[in-house]
Structure 1
């Protein structure tokens, strides 16, 4: 009779290879690396597929990986100020992906004959994975949604970009708004490159980009809890909600010694970050420094791009390129951030107020969900000023109801799915696909 260990080893040897594919900045990459690491720890065979400019993150994960594109292409994208424009951003991202739409297909073709595999990918890479079906028609695809806005629900539509959608707007109007956005803004931008790539491999053209992105997967995961975004009638079929996936692990989550010293020298600081990929935030940090002076508070500026941080920071303000938020945020007074889903989740877990300053993508929707929970507020990047930021931060830091809401949300985070249960749901989705 086989022992349990022998049986597990046999299952791992015969289980399909999981190709975990993602693209984007740190907030997009780290949850997928964390999923790949967790699956590997559970005995699954995994292979990362990442853009070339994120190779360092793949190397740090100690997982097998392939890359597509070059570091120079990634830097050109990050250097484009349109990347953080709510109207231009999707075009900048898609322009960088179009030359590499065959990346998943190339990986699949390179596998041994008969090797079973399934693709677990970021939604923006679903068209790339679907293109691989020209080489392997039975390829199974699971999309993992980091944030609810990417599911394009008309029922729970809080905002389209910086335009706030009031709750009283009828469903038919919301649906018409989505159709107009796709017809006039999304499809003309995305479909030409996608359909040219599909034609090269004998696949029929697609007429609606997001419809294709939502329908092509065999199963979909929502990596956010129901209290953050409740299930909706127009979500894709075979959709499973788990919880926030967390960040990848690259060793112990210890704070740098100089940061430890800074935290111990005075009152908890306010953290400011526009996101790891943002290279055009000089004005953001200049305003943040002015706000800290007006409030008489200490601050911590988080960005790997030091050139955008004001020079000669006063003693009560510190710059850091990186720090593990899981260890840092429980020790700060509040966080001002771009609305990235990972930063939002870390702040929920830490039980601290958030001021969300969204620039593009899902950041607007995430921000309004933060506000709806009572733990933060929204200040649109295009309306950013020192006066507005100071007033909103002062209110968040002083309001007892905000502190109570932060405690309640932190409690919910603590009662969320344990990692083992989350990965059981991920594996169930992979198997169902």
Structure 2
């Protein structure tokens, strides 16, 4: 069987897809990946067939650039739909099943319907899938109000149609397909998958047969930590890790991070991320890193301060590390709430944190009670989600329908 796995996003979206691809390949399946070109070299090294989609995304995290205007956002929305139909159509040639993972997947199901391939949609966070038990993810355009969850999901569907539906239906019409009038339902299907850990991010209706929760898709990272980083870790008390992943962030945030660690007598490890945050030069209590094996590093730090992406939150929880979540957008607010609810750490207000706010939140995370709760919770986080998903795919695809 030939499988196409498609996602658009940062490493937080791509690495889980690689985990599933690795499991499928181990089961003898032919796998192709359609991902942003930022990850082409890495996936070539792993021996995967890769079709790059769209422009590189890494440059979008700089806080120095101007934020896009509404007109630019609309054009970007239309352009991504056109690009997806063009690129995924070519990538899907000869494939028996198409798996669309994460946000912004607008073309894959239409292409599956054209080719007769089976189709599966997978989300990495429960709050991104419709339910009467929760509202959609917070978005900048949504004003606070008292509308019920169902009304908010209906509003989301209308916005999806306004932004993306025209180009989706234009492409469908060109291929002789009927238009869709509810784009989220079309993308998600009536039986979406949830690739999130059931202890950390459970579906709110456990007995709901519509949603297949496989567990988080965790790629087993076996890379050793760099020797100079290992030396830094060995030189004193476990430091605090700070990283914002692919998020926009001002350069001065690195100084705020270091100040909050110093306020608690801790050293700091600062991940540059896509925003290019720089460790304060010449400071012996601060170490800067690039892309690294989080699974190994998080077991050796006193706390993990991050933006609340699904992958980083899961990695920290699995490592037993206390967390401070600084949410910026979308599902990150959900994971900030879960870290607080589970007693695994603290969260700041959304946006760029002040030194005072970060110091206060870090004080909570570094308490012995939180550290103990984080260590205990680590045993509940499963590592076999990608294996479960691969077996599920092989068991259900022959019966699946696009």
Range into which the TM-score falls when normalised by the shorter chain: 0.7 to 0.9
- The residue aligned with 2:367 is 398
Distance 1:291 1:164 in 2: 32
- The residue aligned with 1:13 is none
- The residue aligned with 1:220 is 192
Instruction: Extract unaligned runs of 5+ from structure 1.
Output: 1-15
- The residue aligned with 2:34 is 49
Distance 1:294 1:89, change over 3 A: farther
- The residue aligned with 1:386 is 355
Distance 1:92 1:329 in 2: 40
Distance 1:234 1:121, change over 3 A: same
Deviations 1:286-315 (A, max 9, x none): 321221232221000012447432542511
Q: Following TM superposition, by how much is the alpha carbon of 1:422 offset from its aligned partner in structure 2, in angstroms? A: 5.1
- The residue aligned with 1:256 is 226
- The residue aligned with 2:202 is 230
Distance 1:248 1:407, change over 3 A: closer
Q: Following TM superposition, by how much is the alpha carbon of 1:261 offset from its aligned partner in structure 2, in angstroms? A: 0.7
Q: Following TM superposition, by how much is the alpha carbon of 1:420 offset from its aligned partner in structure 2, in angstroms? A: 4.6
- The residue aligned with 1:6 is none
Distance 1:418 1:125, change over 3 A: closer
Distance 1:229 1:422, change over 3 A: same
Deviations 1:108-154 (A, max 9, x none): 3x43xxxx610122143643112314641x22111121111221323
Distance 1:34 1:93, change over 3 A: farther
- The residue aligned with 1:190 is 164
Instruction: Extract unaligned runs of 5+ from structure 2.
Output: none
Contact 2:123 2:129 in 1 (8 A): yes
Q: TM-score, normalised by structure 1?
A: 0.81
Distance 1:204 1:69 in 2: 26
Q: Following TM superposition, by how much is the alpha carbon of 1:89 offset from its aligned partner in structure 2, in angstroms? A: 12
Distance 1:237 1:130, change over 3 A: farther
For the pair 1:124 / 2:118, whether they are aligned, the reply is no
Distance 1:89 1:179 in 2: 25
Question: Which of 36, 39, 57 is equivalent to 2:21?
Answer: 36
Contact 2:109 2:186 in 1 (8 A): no
- The residue aligned with 2:133 is 155
Distance 1:96 1:34, change over 3 A: farther
Distance 2:361 2:311 in 1: 22
- 1:224-373 matches, cutoff 5 A: 224-232=196-204, 238-247=210-219, 249=221, 252-275=222-245, 277-305=246-274, 307-373=276-342
Question: Which of 76, 80, 89 is equivalent to 1:105?
Answer: 89
Q: Following TM superposition, by how much is the alpha carbon of 1:268 offset from its aligned partner in structure 2, in angstroms? A: 0.4
**SS at structure 2 position matched to 1:382:** coil
For the pair 1:60 / 2:45, whether they are aligned, the reply is yes
Tell me the matched-pair count.
Answer: 398
